[in-house]
Amino acid sequence: MSAVRIGTSGWSYPGWRKGVFYPSGLRAAKELSYLAATLNSAEINGSFYSLQRPATYRSWAQQTPDDFQFAVKGGRYITHMRRLRDVDRALANFFASGVLLLGRRLGPVLWQLPATFTPDLDLLTSFLTSLPRSTAEMAEQAKGHDGRLADRVVTEADEDLPVRHALELRNDLVFDSRVLDLLRRQAVALVISDGAGQWPMANEATADFSYVRLHGSRELYASDYTAAELRAWSGRVVDWRSRGREVFVYFDNDGEAHAPHNAITLRRYVDDS
Q: How large is the average pLDDT for residues 196-207?
A: 95
pLDDT computed for residue 151 by the predictor = 78
pLDDT computed for residue 1 by the predictor = 60
Q: How far is CA 117 from the centre of its chain?
A: 19
**Whether residue 188 has pLDDT greater than 70:** yes
10 Å Cβ neighbour count for 60? 22
User: 58: exposed, middle or buried (C-beta count within 10 Å: 0-12, 13-18, 19+)?
Assistant: middle
pLDDT in tens, 114-157: 999 987 899 999 999 999 999 999 999 999 999 888 779 999 99
pLDDT computed for residue 118 by the predictor = 87
pLDDT in tens, 41-98: 999 999 999 999 999 999 999 999 999 999 999 999 999 999 999 999 999 999 999 9
From CA 169, how far away is CA 25, in angstroms rounded?
Answer: 39
Say how many Å lie between the first and final Cα of the chain, rounded. 13
pLDDT computed for residue 148 by the predictor = 83
Averaged pLDDT of the chain: 96
Phi, psi of 56 (to 5 degrees): -70, -45
Q: CA geometry: angle at 244 spanning 61 and 182, to 5°?
A: 85
pLDDT in tens, 238-258: 999 999 999 999 999 999 999
Phi, psi of 201 (to 5 degrees): -125, 130
Model pTM score: 0.97
Could you tell me which residues come within 8 angstroms of residue 181 by beta carbon, excluding any fewer than 6 positions away?
A: none
pLDDT computed for residue 206 by the predictor = 98
Domains in the chain, ordered, with CATH? 4-272 (3.20.20.410)
Helix (H) or strand (E) segment spanning residue 192: strand 192-194
pLDDT computed for residue 150 by the predictor = 78
